[in-house]
Structure 1
Amino acid sequence: MSDRYDTAARREAVLAAWRSSPTRFREDANAEEDLVLGGYADRLIVELAQNASDAAVRAGIAGELRLTLVDRVLSAANTGAALDAEGVDGLTSLRASGKRDEQSSTGRFGIGFAATLAVSDEPEIRSTTGGIRFSLADTDKAVRELGGAAAAELDRRDGRAPVLRLAWPAPGAPMDGYATEVRLPLRDDAALAAVRAALDSVPASLLLALPTLSTVDVNGRVLRRTEVDEQTVALADGEKTRHWRYVTTAGDLPVELLADRPVEERIRQAWRVTAAVPLTEAGEPAALDAAQVLYAPTPTDERISLPVRLIGTFPTSPDRRRVPDSAVTRFLAEQAAEAVADLIAGCSEHPAVLRLLPGPDLPLSTVDSLVRAAVDAQLRTAVWLPDTHGQWLPPSRALVVDDPLVEIAADVLDGILPAGWWTSATAPALRALGVRRLGLAEVVEAFAGADGEPSWWHDFYDAIDIALRHDPSTEIGEVAAIRVPLVDGRTVTGAREVLLPVDDLPAEAVAALGLRIAHPDAAHPLLARLGAREASPASVLADDRVRAEVEQSYELDDPAPVAEAVLALVAATGIGPGELPWLADLALPDAEGDWRPAGELLLPGAPLAWLIGADVPFGTADRQLVEDYGADVLAAVGTLATFAVVDQPDLDLSDVDDLALDGASDWADEVADALDGEPVQLTRFAAVRDLELIRPDAWPQALRLLAAPPARDALMASCTGELMDGRIVPVTPYLRWWFAHRPVLAGRCPAELRLPSAAELVGLYDPVPELRPSGGPPSLFDVDDSVGGVLDDELLAALGCRTGLLDVLEDTASATDLLRRLGDPDRSVHAAVLPLLYARLAEALAGVDVPPPDHVRVAPDVVVPAEQAVVLDQPWRLAEFPGRHPILGGADPETVAELLDIPLASEL
């Protein structure tokens, strides 16, 4: 260097200028003081690394830097271009630099080396081309030798002369293997501590700003930069390596922007900006702390709120802390924003990229405000957001929905961002970009025209349900207009009138009933929360609409779909015959191919068919129908194998005639008369249909059928009525009334017969005869030929057979019949019973207009004309009436005399 650069001549020229112009000395001292202000040790390390990077650029190689601290001397050795005369001129000319044309240079106008003065008064540079040194002591001595105003100014500054203006030759070569070495003897212990701390904290990210510097050895700790691809770099710190995604843009500043800048800046127009962010092990962007500083390229005091590392050749103040608001700054802010936007777009395959977006907080500096505004503007129009189909779109076309809805919404809507993109943390940034979020109501509306399989709709409901539970503040009413696919192929809006099939509901068959049955594959608990009702086979049968379909089925052009639906429901419920009487109106095909109500059909081979003969209003059910559904199902809808039963609770007496039962209106009239015409509500009404159709000769077989459930249960049922005042009164059951006077027991009416146990009626009533069938289907008589074997006393009593005197006296008709029987000479009376009979009859028939008998019984086996009898009210006078037979009058002989129209003994 001494051969090519005359340091002595340079010193003499500077000293001459200071001697002739003390003001020049003051200006140089002020300039160096401005450069050194705030020259912290960490800034020094960055400046040394920056010089090493620039040397590598000039040499066109991947640079290396070695930083060591030995014997209170900081050494910075680098590869690359050696120090030349132009470089020395840059170092000794304050605010000047030899770095003019290098596009990739990061140094700014030769002022960075002044940072060495923050820790050292004797900086030295050794290079393969020679060396120079600077010295505060030698500069002080030289200035004092000048004397005059320069020396006085030095005293005023406490000896702080502009050290870097005077250079001396330096012996020695750089560290082996390196082109240049900067050696800094540290000023004091404070400088030593500051440098040691700075070396310990040198981050690997330092290499982001120095792309041509591949390695930095810091006291044996090696930092290494390795390019992975065009936008990814691996930064190693010893054994630890972290990948960074980065975007770098560069170019030349427009000349018009530099019009008001210093000459040195106008000469060097190249600019460079880098935006970078670290990556997680999964390759996702890991945002830095929200508050960063701008690197220009050394760290400035300009805070930025973008959580990225932003590095650029921004113009700075002399202390390199602040960035002035200038045309160049604004231009570079636009370029920085473009780099940040490109960086974000390059990471947008991960929703974590949203952490990099500008937040809602206020800008932290002028530069931050400029960059954020530009980033926001560029991201609004850039095509960088991914949708679920792998397409890219600008925010204005992007839609977000809650994560549970993403997959299903993407089947219908374009522009849906993937799951994980919409969170409470990312929502403000996405809203600021103009991304539209669809609420549940909007999602449901968007699906109004969707056409998917029922299972797809089930997935949709599942997603909606999860979204509702995820956000409890959302009202379920927002999704009330949800679409529901039905089993019949229709799709309806809203779930309120929809039935959800459960318990093996034959949904496809039931569709013919016109009900809104949700398709089983779409059924979901959400629909129940929206008003849909669970539909079991039993609940569907209980629906009034089904009943209406059944009642009008006979009038349909094609009753088959309704018949199949109802039969499937009945098969699923397992209901028994007569449980739903209205099912008898269901139109079913008969053996001739015609349609009849189920209640007018007989099962093929049914016992009832033989009992009623051929000339009856019944058809025979189609055999194929029986094979398809079974006899039990057809019987449940009213098709007859045996007697049909009616069993209804809470029936108004006036409605009995609507049941189409033989003589039901006459029975109701008798009940009403017995209760003086007062309105009666029957608490239970049981009956057996079609009794009037039984052939007279078939009653033995018919009785056997009646002895088995459910007919027997109807026969045994009691009957009571509730009057208007709430009183419950007994009512003669319809079946007892009907059978009592029908010759069904070997040609005899049950009311004319007594049970074997009714001893007090012996002689007055005949016993129940032995009943034997005269033929019929063998299936009716699979035990023996005796009907009596199944007609027990309980059942006979239900048919109207007499069980005792109280039974006979229970109603007016039977009591009147008993009065007639007492006068029948062909009958007899038990001796123990006769003394009670007339008194009991008089009591039972009191107030009833009954014709007096022609003959009366005066002894168990003796009947005389009425005019030959007397009612004995005074027994001692019996001898006074020769020729008259006494009748005991009991406690009320006058009532007995009135009933029989026979005089009292006392009257005679």
Structure 2
Amino acid sequence: MTDTFGTEHLRTTVLAAWAASPARFREDANAEEDFALGGYRDRLIVELAQNAADAALRAGVPGRLRLSLSGGVLTAANTGAPLDAEGVEGLSTLRVSGKRDEEGATGRFGVGFAAVVSVCDEPSIGSRATGTVRWSRAETAALAGKVPELSGELAERGGHVPMLRLPFEADPVDVPEGFDTVVRLPLRDEAVEQAVRRMLDDTGPALPLAMPALPVIEIEVDGVSRAVTADGWRVVEESGRFTAEQVAELYAGRPTEERARPFWLVRWAVPETLGRLPKDVAPVVHAPTPSDEPLDLPALLIATFPLTTDRRHVASGPLTTFLVDRAAEVYLRLLGTLPKTPALLDLVPGLMGKGELDAAIRRAILRLLPGTPLLPALSPAADPGSPPARPEPGAEYVVAGREASAVAGPAEFLDKIAHAVPGLLPAGWASRHPALATLGVTRIEPADVIDLLSGEAVDDVTPAWWRDLYEVIPGDDREALGALPVPLADGRLVRGPRGTLLLTDGSSLDAGLLGPLGLRVVHPEAAHPLLLRLGAAEATPRSVLEDPLTRATVSESLDSADPEPVAQAVLALVDAAGLTPGEAPWLSALALRGADGELYPAGELLLGGGSLAGLIDQDVPFGVAAPDLVERYGSRVLEAAGVLDGFAVVNDADVLLDPEECDHDLDAEDDWLDAVLDVLPEASVPPVAREFTAVRDLEYVADWPSALTLLTRPPLRAALQPLRALVDGEIAEAPSYTAWWLSRHPVLDGRLPTSLRVPDGDPLLYGLYGDAPAGLDATALSMIGVRTTLADLLAGHGGPDELLDLLADPSLEVDRPQLRALWVALAAVEPSRVAPPTAVRAVLHGEIVVADAEDGHPIGGNGAPLPDGLTATGGPVVVEAPDLLPVVAGRPLVLAPSELAEALSELLDLPVAGEAVPGEVTSSGQERAVPPQVRSLLPTAPATYVEHTELTVDGVRVPWRFYEGTVHAATVEGLARGLAWATGQWGDRLAVAALLRDPDAVPVLLAESDLDS
């Protein structure tokens, strides 16, 4: 056994030093224990790999390491420089590295081999070329025990000694073929062996990435082998050497021997597949071996950061700050080498780090990131102050985040808009990934994209280009696409499809024909179904006519310098649409030529020889349509455009019955609307007429008999039907405009229809209304206001007031039965429908008169004198009881069945007789028994009555009075009436009188009563 490495001299020197200074022994033991159990407790594999890498680097050969675990022994065979005396000295000392001058060496502190102490008590290292050295805890303890000066320390430490301080010579070991050196570690126990197995399992590509001199690490456990390499990783690094000035600045406060290594390295690595780090690569900073500094990025950072004395953490200071900045720069270089796919976004750091160093690295990266060209773009970045540059065909662009724009949509769509959006990212990049905001990418919403598609960006594109855009543009956000530019057939580019017209395939319309109408017709080469979904209308003849621009052009055509093209376009559309007269009433404003060469609105032109021409007043301002117009377009088309042959009819639907909305240019339309709203129930919102039909130009008619013949026959008769309106969800009826207008004009032999009744009409209306002329059917007459029956009159709006006004007209004759029947009918009317009359038809001293409602003074009519001595002693009263008739005989009396008196009193706002006079019995009499035979006719007759020689009520002589529940009578007839009234059998009063005169006549009277119907 040869002492090749001078181990005996090393042992002698160390033992002498310990004997001279037991504190030195203690210091060495503590230091070894600290490293073995602290900073290097789980770094065994890393330190073995580090030594192998440095050996290969020193020898300048390809590094190779084989780690084998079998039979409780871990061996590490490596290639490279063999173990020498300097190496043994370095391994047997603490904090003294023999590699301090080696640039690129991984080991730099001289304590890494202390990691073997945590697993082994008998480590050895042997090189084929130089020999073997070993260390032994037992032998070291034995030698230390022979030093008297150390006995106390050994006792205090329980026999623990610094094993690696005393090397021993050893027999040569078998170095595996292909390797130069082998480290042999008999593991201490089963627990240690399991720990080593875990370390071997956790060994991943971080080691060869941190140690390029060691590209392959072979691991064999119980005969099962695997190789750890850096294959499949993308690596970017940067290194350098410090100047003396930089060393002085950056290494301030660092240990002296660190200054002897004035070079730096930063290396970043990511898996080729990108994404998260493999599970066998710890997410920590490697300096260059793993530290305890977390790094929450899907990339591996290897850098020569200065470490604290525990070799676990990066020390703060200027050197760390320098390396953090370099790490940021190299990281951006790494990103620049990666494939330009959205997976790149996963490598963009967020703001929050998992530690101080992690946060510092992130901040440094984020400072540089937005301005670094990393992102693929379909178009170049914007040049400030210039319009977007058009992409060159086949060109590839890379832009910085702050120059990039992200738009959601398929690739075809993005390709179309690339020329308008600077720095546009390809499809797949417009996700909600937070990295886009970090990079400073501008997210452009669909509405903003639409805004960019204007001005110089689309000056030279063709209509077909727009159609291709519509084909690929995402169409799910209708609101955003509302302002989508649309090229028109006239060369304009307008914002938004709404209001445009689309000529579909097979359309019979010609864009050139429609030009004079100022319509927004989509260019045929740009037509696409998307425009219809976004509000464009299909350009059918009818939709073109309904377009607001067409209506505006028609309304202004009379003032146009050349209205002929407008007329030709509109008449052609009317013909193609098959419009019927009155269907589009606004067409009546279309400027057309008359036979005299002048321009007229179509609604003021007549067809020569038409039916209307013979009905109207010759002085009204109507022209006659030019014969060539009639020949070219025909009477049907001209009538549909508003030219009059017969009466013009206005047809409309869903008309809001509101003064601000309802305007069809009809005579007195506002008055009609007021009348309609007065008839309809009150509503929270304006009523709506589902269908509106009206005949216009009635005010110009001169020949009413002929006109009414037309108006009361189909199809014009439909305009007389009641208007049906929706009022708060319910349907209600009101007079149509045409019927209302006719009812208020003298169209029947110069008389108002409302002043007439149908021939052979209700006899109760006789004398109040004149008879309508023959020639029109009763239904047509009733439609225009001619009265039919009393019931219909009273049911109609204003009918009760009208009847009361007629009854108050002294020039009209009404007989007494008719008057009684009218009062009976009026008594059933709701008083709220009636305004109390100022004069009433009543009976005064047996005569029918019209009396003032206040003082009862009779009113004459048409100059006819009143009967002599016909005066009133007070205002009119409604008589509710027959016994008061003598008391109020001087007043005008409203006479009707007594049970209706209260209703009439409220309706007419007149008192009943009992309210107008006291009605007190002012004479005295004797109580008498009612003859018992009366009960045969009046079973409920009272037992007694009061007999008066002369009965007076309020000082007026009367035959009877039923007062305060007692019958008072002065005569037999009076007693009969009083008893009949008191029992509610007023109709039997005459029979009772006969019975009182001749009681023997009772059997005959009863027999006659039995014969009554």
TM-score, normalising length: structure 2 = 0.56
Q: Specify the SS of the correspondent of 2:58.
A: helix
Provide the rounded CA distance (Å) in 2 between the counterparts of 1:805 and 1:272: 113
- 1:368 matched to 2:366? The reply is no
- Offset of 1:74 from its aligned partner? 0.3
Distance change (3 Å), C-alpha of 1:5 and 1:538: same
2:969 is matched with none
The answer to whether the 8 Å contact 1:601/1:619 transfers is no
Once the two structures are superposed, the pairs formed by residues 375-386 of structure 1 within 5 Å of their partners are: 375-386=365-376
1:191 is matched with 192
- Offset of 1:320 from its aligned partner? 2.2
Equivalent of residue 488 in structure 1, options 490, 496, 501: 490
Residue 183 of structure 2 aligns with an amino acid whose one-letter code is V
- 1:391 matched to 2:384? The reply is no
Identify which range, 435-444 or 383-392, moves more after superposition: 435-444
- Offset of 1:124 from its aligned partner? 0.8
2:265 is matched with 272
- Offset of 1:135 from its aligned partner? 1.1
Provide the rounded CA distance (Å) in 2 between the counterparts of 1:188 and 1:374: 47
- 1:412 matched to 2:412? The reply is no
- Offset of 1:165 from its aligned partner? 1.9
Equivalent of residue 334 in structure 1, options 309, 325, 329: 325
Provide the rounded CA distance (Å) in 2 between the counterparts of 1:136 and 1:624: 128
The answer to whether the 8 Å contact 2:126/2:133 transfers is yes
Residue 392 of structure 1 aligns with an amino acid whose one-letter code is V
2:877 is matched with none
Identify which range, 580-589 or 147-156, moves more after superposition: 580-589
1:698 is matched with none
Residue 456 of structure 1 aligns with an amino acid whose one-letter code is W
Provide the rounded CA distance (Å) in 2 between the counterparts of 1:549 and 1:273: 76
- Offset of 1:718 from its aligned partner? 8.2
The answer to whether the 8 Å contact 2:406/2:424 transfers is yes
In angstroms, what is the RMSD of aligned CA positions? 5.5
- Offset of 1:181 from its aligned partner? 0.9
Q: Specify the SS of the correspondent of 1:222.
A: strand
Once the two structures are superposed, the pairs formed by residues 118-137 of structure 1 within 5 Å of their partners are: 118-129=118-129, 130-137=131-138
Q: Deviations over 1:691-742 (max 9, x none)?
A: 99xxxxxxxxxxxxxxxx99996588786799xx9668989999xx99x9xx
- 1:249 matched to 2:277? The reply is no
2:104 is matched with 104
- Offset of 1:518 from its aligned partner? 5.8
Q: Deviations over 1:608-665 (max 9, x none)?
A: 9xxx9xxx96655489977xxx99867855799xx677444699xxxxxx999xxxxx
1:157 is matched with 157
- Offset of 1:375 from its aligned partner? 1.5
- 1:358 matched to 2:364? The reply is no
The number of residues matched between the two structures is 672
The answer to whether the 8 Å contact 1:501/1:523 transfers is no
Provide the rounded CA distance (Å) in 1 between the counterparts of 2:711 and 2:113: 114
- Offset of 1:73 from its aligned partner? 0.4
Q: Deviations over 1:758-790 (max 9, x none)?
A: xxxxxxxxxxxxxxxxxxxxxxxxxxxxxxxxx
Q: Deviations over 1:128-184 (max 9, x none)?
A: 222111111121122222x13334323322222222222122222311221111110
Provide the rounded CA distance (Å) in 2 between the counterparts of 1:726 and 1:14: 125
Distance change (3 Å), C-alpha of 1:345 and 1:83: same
Provide the rounded CA distance (Å) in 2 between the counterparts of 1:86 and 1:623: 123
1:312 is matched with 303
Provide the rounded CA distance (Å) in 1 between the counterparts of 2:158 and 2:306: 31
The answer to whether the 8 Å contact 1:317/1:323 transfers is yes
Identify which range, 186-195 or 35-44, moves more after superposition: 35-44
Residue 88 of structure 2 aligns with an amino acid whose one-letter code is V
1:113 is matched with 113
Provide the rounded CA distance (Å) in 1 between the counterparts of 2:719 and 2:313: 107
Q: Specify the SS of the correspondent of 2:215.
A: strand
1:673 is matched with none
Provide the rounded CA distance (Å) in 2 between the counterparts of 1:148 and 1:195: 38
2:285 is matched with 294
Residue 350 of structure 1 aligns with an amino acid whose one-letter code is T
Equivalent of residue 516 in structure 2, options 512, 515, 519: 512
Once the two structures are superposed, the pairs formed by residues 43-58 of structure 1 within 5 Å of their partners are: 43-58=43-58
- Offset of 1:191 from its aligned partner? 0.7
- 1:456 matched to 2:457? The reply is no
1:575 is matched with 579
Q: Specify the SS of the correspondent of 2:208.
A: helix
Identify which range, 199-208 or 394-403, moves more after superposition: 394-403
Residue 490 of structure 2 aligns with an amino acid whose one-letter code is D
Provide the rounded CA distance (Å) in 2 between the counterparts of 1:208 and 1:35: 25
The answer to whether the 8 Å contact 1:485/1:522 transfers is no
- Offset of 1:568 from its aligned partner? 5.4
Q: Deviations over 1:803-843 (max 9, x none)?
A: 999999x99xxxxxxxxxxxxxxxxxxxxxxxxxxxxxxxx
Q: Specify the SS of the correspondent of 2:80.
A: coil
Provide the rounded CA distance (Å) in 1 between the counterparts of 2:256 and 2:267: 26
Provide the rounded CA distance (Å) in 1 between the counterparts of 2:609 and 2:528: 45
Q: Deviations over 1:477-506 (max 9, x none)?
A: x887765554533344577xx414369585
Provide the rounded CA distance (Å) in 2 between the counterparts of 1:594 and 1:60: 111
- Offset of 1:564 from its aligned partner? 5.2
Distance change (3 Å), C-alpha of 1:558 and 1:461: farther
Residue 549 of structure 1 aligns with an amino acid whose one-letter code is T
Q: Specify the SS of the correspondent of 1:110.
A: coil
Provide the rounded CA distance (Å) in 1 between the counterparts of 2:348 and 2:114: 37
The answer to whether the 8 Å contact 2:722/2:734 transfers is no
1:819 is matched with none
The answer to whether the 8 Å contact 1:127/1:180 transfers is yes
Q: Specify the SS of the correspondent of 2:424.
A: coil
Provide the rounded CA distance (Å) in 2 between the counterparts of 1:265 and 1:285: 36
The answer to whether the 8 Å contact 1:287/1:355 transfers is no
The answer to whether the 8 Å contact 1:121/1:185 transfers is yes
Distance change (3 Å), C-alpha of 1:348 and 1:382: farther
The answer to whether the 8 Å contact 2:625/2:643 transfers is no
The answer to whether the 8 Å contact 1:38/1:319 transfers is yes
1:431 is matched with 437
Residue 13 of structure 2 aligns with an amino acid whose one-letter code is A
- Offset of 1:122 from its aligned partner? 1.0
**Structure 2 gap segments, 5+ residues each:** 380-395, 615-622, 656-664, 668-691, 703-709, 724-732, 750-772, 785-811, 813-1013
Distance change (3 Å), C-alpha of 1:649 and 1:574: closer
Once the two structures are superposed, the pairs formed by residues 176-215 of structure 1 within 5 Å of their partners are: 176-215=177-216
Q: Specify the SS of the correspondent of 1:35.
A: helix
Distance change (3 Å), C-alpha of 1:350 and 1:568: farther
TM-score, normalising length: structure 1 = 0.61
1:66 is matched with 66
- Offset of 1:436 from its aligned partner? 3.9
Residue 20 of structure 1 aligns with an amino acid whose one-letter code is A
Provide the rounded CA distance (Å) in 2 between the counterparts of 1:648 and 1:48: 103
Residue 394 of structure 1 aligns with an amino acid whose one-letter code is A
| Highest RCO, 1 vs 2 (Cα 8 Å, sep ≥ 6) | 1
1:175 is matched with 176
Q: Specify the SS of the correspondent of 1:161.
A: coil
- Offset of 1:459 from its aligned partner? 4.3
Distance change (3 Å), C-alpha of 1:599 and 1:438: closer
Provide the rounded CA distance (Å) in 2 between the counterparts of 1:32 and 1:354: 46
Q: Specify the SS of the correspondent of 1:275.
A: strand
Residue 264 of structure 1 aligns with an amino acid whose one-letter code is E
- Offset of 1:11 from its aligned partner? 2.0
Provide the rounded CA distance (Å) in 2 between the counterparts of 1:279 and 1:569: 68
Provide the rounded CA distance (Å) in 2 between the counterparts of 1:352 and 1:805: 88
Provide the rounded CA distance (Å) in 2 between the counterparts of 1:492 and 1:312: 60
Q: What fraction of aligned residue pairs are identical, expressed as a percent?
A: 42
- Offset of 1:192 from its aligned partner? 1.0
Residue 96 of structure 2 aligns with an amino acid whose one-letter code is A
Distance change (3 Å), C-alpha of 1:120 and 1:493: same
Provide the rounded CA distance (Å) in 1 between the counterparts of 2:83 and 2:572: 101
